[in-house]
Structure 1
Amino acid sequence: MNEITTQTISTIIVGLDMQQPDFTYTMTELGELVAAAGMTVVGQMTQRSDRPDPATYFGKGKVEEIAERARATDAPIVVVNSDLSPSQTRNLEKAMKLSVMDRTELILRIFASRARSREAKLQVGIAKEEYALPRIHPSSNPLDQQGGGRGNSGGATANRGTGETQLELDKRVIKKRITHMRHELKEIMRAQDTRRDRRIHQALPSVALVGYTNAGKSTTMNSMLQQFGLADKQVFVKNQLFATLDTSVRKIQLPTNRHFLLSDTVGFVSHLPHHLVESFKATLKEAADADLLIQVVDFADPHYKEMMETTEQTLDAIGVKNIPMLTVYNKADLRPDTHYPDREGNTLTLSATDPKSIQMLADTLDELLFKDYQDTTLLVPFTKGDIVNYLRDNTEVKNEHYTDEGTAITTILGPIDRSKFAAYIQTNPVPTKA
């Protein structure tokens, strides 16, 4: 990718209308992505065709028209609402004498600017290198200028193998960088897997917020944290696409003293680049391992149905299947014709900024996550005080008293805790000591 400073730059967005059912929607979305990248859309152009031109994607006449429009609006960049082949990008840039960016490169740039953690930077870095690999071209290769030119026997050329071209050498360097980043990312994910396994061992149900970018996932999470006394654990929120790329996990305690883990995952967008889907599978592992998914939907957006389809397609692409889902139609406060909070089965209509809505969500989670929990009576020896402390801290204790043999405690346990403490479960009630 050519390094272009995108701040305050004017752009023309263009698309090829091949009668795709979501074409208009994706063009609107492209404009929002351009804005998220810090650029300004000063013009939009489309061409209707049955198929793209193999050389320049658009027809010759349309290419000239786009170039004229860009010059008239002082727009140095043209953003195309599709993926271009390396040759199509080069041919368009040569014909229009402008920088050309396809949809994938635009999204990669946004992700690169948002990455904060080492994990996110590695994932974006891998995706960028994989995108760049087939686009290396000798005519624009900066490494060709090193070592005093092609005729110089020193510099980069001295390290080439027999018959190896500079292009091959550069591709080999990129592949090595990809391998190195994948290895480092694997180490990070190994540590995260260890922490995830520890949480599973603690018998904490896990819930993952998923959905379209900017649908209100982080706001929903922060409202839950605020409502249950964890305001100091809130996550970053900003009204922009892909405000954050990092998965955040928080432990929430409900009024019933039951605990669960809530994770806020990276948002989705239509036609998410394949390189990013592959790279972010690691980040989205929280969703893949969740006991329950909450799909947060921007109910105020006229394209919310397309956004739901995008979410479901992306979840399928990353292998998240057969996990129960709660659908939350958020931003109902922006629809004056809508009553909220409201629940129909596993569908909620609410506003993430409304305390009553958040309470309804919490009550629904309590019901769905703990439906297999049962009243259980245990007799715990006095030497096992750690078990009693665990039950007090992590379960809803209904009764507790002491007997000659130990502490009799009646609480509500899930399948994992019932299995873990099976040796202490009493089939008959333990009589209260007189």
Structure 2
Amino acid sequence: MGLNETDSPNLGVTGEQAARWEDRYALGRVESLGSKVDDISEVEYREVRLERVILVGIYQSDRDEAERSLRELAALAETAGAQVLAGLTQRRDKPDSATFLGAGKARELRAEVATLEADTVIVDDELAPSQRRALEDVVKVKVIDRTAVILDIFATHATSREGKAQVELAQLEYLLPRLRGWGESMSRQAGGRAAGGEGIGSRGPGETKIELDRRRIRTRMARLRRLLKEMAPSREAKRAARRSGGIPAVAIVGYTNAGKSSLLNRLTGADVLVHNALFATLDPSVRKTLTPSGRAYTLADTVGFVRRLPTELVEAFRSTLEETAMADLILHVVDATNPDPSGEIEAVNETLDAIEGIRKIPVVMVINKIDAALAPTLALLRRLIPNGVEISAASGAGIEELKAIIEERLPSPAQHVRVLVKWENLGLLERIYREGRLESRETREDGTFVDAWVPPALGAKLLDQALESPARVEGPQFGEHTQNGGLDE
């Protein structure tokens, strides 16, 4: 697409300068970006015609970064049930305050929309309400932004009552300042599937065919916040029950589609949904498993992160973030097949930084999908993460090494005991194996003498048993030991 008179600041330029202005102002096509999906079920579970979309983004200087971001947006759009026809980028210092691209480029985009018979334009940024309306007036088809696509995917994939409430709250927070001018394209919700041909950006887990106005949105948001607040004690009670048993917690975090659910299944033998799509996991899944020596711990699978994750979702998905904040150890999973692993790691770290106290929790970096990674990407990751654990959750490669590292990094129980566990109390011995760290054991005539570190709650039970016969306790009495071996009486 060449220059036109409305865009060129100076028509009397040399050939080299003209080429530079062409790069500066033209909409450049992103090569090889387009939907190659033949089977609709690969990206969505709706028996409707795929929405035909054109993606548009701008950049200041780094075109490669802009194209990577547009390819990620293409994956988001396909996950939401769209067919990507083309991806276009324009070099600009900043978005145009009126039509995002500028009036001339918006008209060129309208011609592209007509040529390709597109239904929708998706902008790789967050649009102001006025920008969306103005660009829609020019291109004559629906215009939505990156945030709307992500919210749409969440609306489709949320399954639990809490997850649906969180998604709807995020959608309403996004929609409230954008009510004016949305018109028919956003005047109703479709209950999780397309209705009336509206497609991406118009689905939601809430009520169907509701006329949304500010008063009703605020009322609904207040109700959702109360509902989520009522769910919090139940979630906290489950977490406290796990804590009371002295069972340490491990959380899996990472970029969306990095293989977190596959890793959870591999480590625990669970059957959590695994799907090669973005945001397949929205509701946190917690499973219990054992270290190689038999110590129990819980493993939580969390929602994946993405570049420029909408602030509405970061706030709404508090339960997932709480699982991470309450963990004793974090497994940060990195996709070795991603062409931009450093950007992926940075995006996850930025989101984690928003969680209070998260930086105090030890992190194990896990490089996943090594069996499908390109050699240059693996070499880059080894430089970026010299202590990373290389695995394939799909094939099982490296999993035993990861299990050993998890066991090594789990927090040690706080109480040191040297006590004889009588034969009739073998349940206590099993709890030592499961919840504590066994230093040594000796089988005797009347039971098993153990030297171990255990959680305080278990230590109290062992102390009660020992007090029945003080001779059954040898060496130092029970007490809280510091890491350097000291004893607090």
Q: TM-score, normalised by structure 2?
A: 0.73
1:18 counterpart residue number = 60
Secondary structure (helix, strand or coil) at the match of 1:332 reads coil
**Alpha-carbon distance in 1 for matches of 2:50, 2:366:** 36
Superposed, 1:246-395 pairs within 5 Å as 246-319=283-356, 320-335=358-373, 337=375, 346-370=387-411, 376-379=417-420, 387-388=428-429, 390-391=431-432, 394-395=435-436
What letter is aligned with 1:98?
V
Q: Deviations over 1:334-391 (max 9, x none)?
A: 236469xx9x985211212333511111111111115567874224589977645533
1:39 counterpart residue number = 82
**Alpha-carbon distance in 2 for matches of 1:14, 1:54:** 16
Deviation at residue 331 of structure 1 after TM alignment? 0.9
- 1:80 equivalenced with 2:123 (yes/no): yes
What letter is aligned with 2:452?
I
Secondary structure (helix, strand or coil) at the match of 1:326 reads strand
- 1:93 equivalenced with 2:136 (yes/no): yes
Deviation at residue 23 of structure 1 after TM alignment? 2.4
Secondary structure (helix, strand or coil) at the match of 1:26 reads helix
What letter is aligned with 1:16?
I
**Alpha-carbon distance in 2 for matches of 1:336, 1:47:** 30
Q: Is the CA contact 1:370–1:414 (under 8 Å) kept in the aligned structure 2? A: no
Q: Pick closer, same or farther for the CA change 1:121–1:26 going to 2, 3 Å.
A: same
What letter is aligned with 1:107?
I
1:200 counterpart residue number = 243
What letter is aligned with 2:331?
I
- 1:215 equivalenced with 2:258 (yes/no): yes
Q: Deviations over 1:121-161 (max 9, x none)?
A: 111000000111011127837999xxxxxxxxxxxxxxxxx
**Alpha-carbon distance in 1 for matches of 2:54, 2:133:** 17
Q: Pick closer, same or farther for the CA change 1:20–1:188 going to 2, 3 Å.
A: farther
Which of 172, 175, 194 is residue 129 of structure 1 equivalent to?
172
Q: Which deviates more from structure 2 when the two are superposed, residues 393-402 or residues 288-297?
A: 393-402
Q: Is the CA contact 1:248–1:264 (under 8 Å) kept in the aligned structure 2? A: yes
What letter is aligned with 2:177?
P
- 1:235 equivalenced with 2:263 (yes/no): no
**Alpha-carbon distance in 2 for matches of 1:43, 1:333:** 31
Q: Pick closer, same or farther for the CA change 1:279–1:295 going to 2, 3 Å.
A: same
Q: Which deviates more from structure 2 when the two are superposed, residues 235-244 or residues 4-13?
A: 4-13
1:181 counterpart residue number = 224
Deviation at residue 429 of structure 1 after TM alignment? 8.4
Q: Deviations over 1:80-126 (max 9, x none)?
A: 00000111111111122110010100100011011111111111000
Deviation at residue 45 of structure 1 after TM alignment? 1.3
What letter is aligned with 2:367?
Y
1:245 counterpart residue number = 282
Deviation at residue 54 of structure 1 after TM alignment? 1.2
Q: Is the CA contact 2:124–2:145 (under 8 Å) kept in the aligned structure 1? A: yes
Q: Pick closer, same or farther for the CA change 1:409–1:183 going to 2, 3 Å.
A: farther
Deviation at residue 14 of structure 1 after TM alignment? 0.2
Task: State the identity as a percent.
Answer: 36
1:412 counterpart residue number = 452
Secondary structure (helix, strand or coil) at the match of 2:93 reads coil
Deviation at residue 249 of structure 1 after TM alignment? 0.5
What letter is aligned with 1:215?
A
Deviation at residue 281 of structure 1 after TM alignment? 2.1
Secondary structure (helix, strand or coil) at the match of 1:15 reads strand
Q: Pick closer, same or farther for the CA change 1:107–1:139 going to 2, 3 Å.
A: closer
Q: How many residues align?
A: 395
Q: Which deviates more from structure 2 when the two are superposed, residues 311-320 or residues 289-298?
A: 311-320
Q: Deviations over 1:285-308 (max 9, x none)?
A: 111111110000011222111100
**Alpha-carbon distance in 1 for matches of 2:342, 2:89:** 24
Q: Which runs of 5+ in 2 are unaligned?
A: 1-45, 188-211, 467-472, 478-489
2:190 counterpart residue number = none
**Alpha-carbon distance in 1 for matches of 2:162, 2:288:** 21
Q: Pick closer, same or farther for the CA change 1:216–1:205 going to 2, 3 Å.
A: same
Q: Is the CA contact 1:372–1:415 (under 8 Å) kept in the aligned structure 2? A: yes
**Alpha-carbon distance in 2 for matches of 1:142, 1:211:** 34
**Alpha-carbon distance in 1 for matches of 2:444, 2:229:** 49
Q: Which deviates more from structure 2 when the two are superposed, residues 325-334 or residues 21-30?
A: 21-30
What letter is aligned with 1:369?
L
**Alpha-carbon distance in 1 for matches of 2:258, 2:108:** 36
Q: Deviations over 1:269-297 (max 9, x none)?
A: 10000101110122221111111100000
What letter is aligned with 2:68?
Y
Secondary structure (helix, strand or coil) at the match of 1:24 reads helix
Superposed, 1:143-154 pairs within 5 Å as none
1:149 counterpart residue number = none
Higher relative contact order (CA 8 A, sep 6+): 1
**Alpha-carbon distance in 2 for matches of 1:412, 1:24:** 56
1:153 counterpart residue number = none
